Amino acid sequence: MKIAAEIPIVWRVALASPPERVFALLDTDEGRARFWAARSAATDDGFVLSFADGREARVEVLERRKPARLVLRYFGAEVELELDAADPGCVLEVRDHGRDLLDWRDRHAGWVSWLLTLKAAADFDVDLRNGAPHRSWNQRFVDP
């Protein structure tokens, strides 16, 4: 199991939306509230996400290069978000450099859920989340 934590988690998704639209979802409170968390509040060094189950995550923005790159510290891990223009739309790559063996499996699966929820919001203007506090990731729901 130690090997898994030494290898970054890497996932990609192809989106029909242009990089500018996807970056706006990632980099604005309004955008993040459409797919990532119930609420988002910008801070001087990043943002705070409030989830439907009452949890909060303070996210530090380590690097911002519109509309192509965000580097975040998210739940203790450095996460790179890279957007490359494609025809049509763009490709988003997530690279999670977390080292915590205990949550590697959840993080690995969690990014798939996150990417598909982002795709639904960006390309189809649909929110896939259930929004019910008692149906969260901790209860093994993939649509928190």
> Residue 22: what pLDDT?
98
18 found inside a domain? yes
Expressed as residue numbers, the domain containing 68 is 2-139
> Residue 101: what pLDDT?
63
The CATH number given to whatever domain includes residue 47 is 3.30.530.20
* Predicted model pTM: 0.89
28 found inside a domain? yes
Reported for 20-23, long-range contacts at CB under 8 A and 24+ positions apart, including other chains, are 20/66, 20/67, 21/122, 22/67, 22/83, 22/90, 22/92, 22/118, 22/122, 23/66, 23/67, 23/68, 23/70, 23/83
Backbone angles phi, psi at 124, to 5 degrees: -125, 0
Number of domains making up the chain = 1
Q: What is the mean pLDDT of each run of 10 residues along the chain (144 residues)?
A: 66 98 98 97 98 93 98 94 96 90 78 96 94 80 76
> Residue 133: what pLDDT?
81
What is the distance between the alpha carbons of residues 132 and 138, in angstroms, rounded to a whole number? 12
Query: Would you tell me how many other CB atoms lie within 10 Å of the CB of residue 81?
Result: 21
